[in-house]
């Protein structure tokens, strides 16, 4: 999810972060300000809400997924995690082992096909 910042939202977050450090001068400034200005500063803008931003979160990774035999693609977004649970780690290890096995089988088939083609060419050349 992307956050779209408006000037009012940025100022709200900036003021909230500065409120703890400059609480005393703001209190005296609010007491000396005209009533309309003091009310406008304390009023929350319509349609705005405060968002807590965690610096440790990661942005989601979105990839286009096209199922085999289909032309219809979908976007899949996954938020990466720091560490996997034991079940997720076991599934990940199993998947990696299966993929490595499929690659090894494909390499053996390719070698067998190449060898068969070389044998066929040798027989054809030897027979002439």
90-105 confidence digits (pLDDT tens): 999 999 999 999 999 9
- Poorest-pLDDT segment among 8-22, 41-55, 81-95: 8-22
Q: What is the pLDDT of residue 116?
A: 95
The answer to whether residues 95 and 73 belong to one domain is no
**Structural domain containing residue 17:** 1-82
Say whether both 73 and 89 belong to one domain.
Answer: no
Residue 127 and residue 88 share a domain:
yes
Top mean pLDDT of 4-18, 30-44, 54-68 is at 54-68
Of residues 30 and 91, more confidence is placed in 91
Average pLDDT over the chain, rounded to an integer:
77
Tell me the backbone φ, ψ of residue 64, rounded to 5 degrees. Answer: -85, 125
Q: Are residues 78 and 88 in the same domain?
A: no
Task: Examine the pLDDT at 109 and tell me if it is beyond 50.
Answer: yes
Give the DSSP letter string of the chain. Answer: ------HHHHHHHHHHHHHTTTHHHHHHHHHHS-HHHHHHHHSPPTT----PPPTT--PPEEEEE--TT----EEEEE---SS--HHHHHHHHHHHHHHHHHHHHHHHHHHHHHHHHHHHHHHHHHT-
Same domain, residue pair 74 and 98: no
> Pick the residue with more confidence: 5 or 60?
60
CA torsion through residues 48, 6, 63, 93, sign: negative
pLDDT at site 1? 45
Same domain for 31 and 75, yes or no, is yes
Confidence of residue 117 (pLDDT cuts 50, 70, 90): very high
Residues 78 and 89 in one domain: no
Query: What is the model's pLDDT at position 54?
Result: 76
Residues 95-118: what's their mean pLDDT?
96
- Report the b/e string of 58-85 with b at 16+ CB within 10 A: eeeeeeeeeeeeeeeeeeeeeeeeeeee
């Amino acid at each position: 999810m992307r956050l779209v910042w408006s000037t009012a939202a940025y100022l709200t977050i900036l003021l909230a972060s500065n409120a703890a450090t400059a609480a005393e001068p703001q209190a005296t400034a609010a007491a000396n300000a005209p009533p309309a200005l003091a009310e406008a500063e304390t009023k929350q803008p319509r349609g705005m809400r405060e968002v807590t931003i965690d610096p440790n979160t990661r942005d989601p990774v979105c990839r286009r997924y096209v199922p085999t035999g289909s032309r219809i693609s979908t976007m899949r977004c996954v938020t990466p995690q720091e560490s996997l649970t034991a079940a997720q780690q076991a599934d990940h290890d199993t998947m990696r082992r299966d993929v490595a096995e499929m690659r090894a089988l494909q390499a053996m088939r390719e070698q067998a096909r190449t060898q068969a083609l070389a044998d066929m060419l040798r027989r054809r050349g030897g027979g002439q």
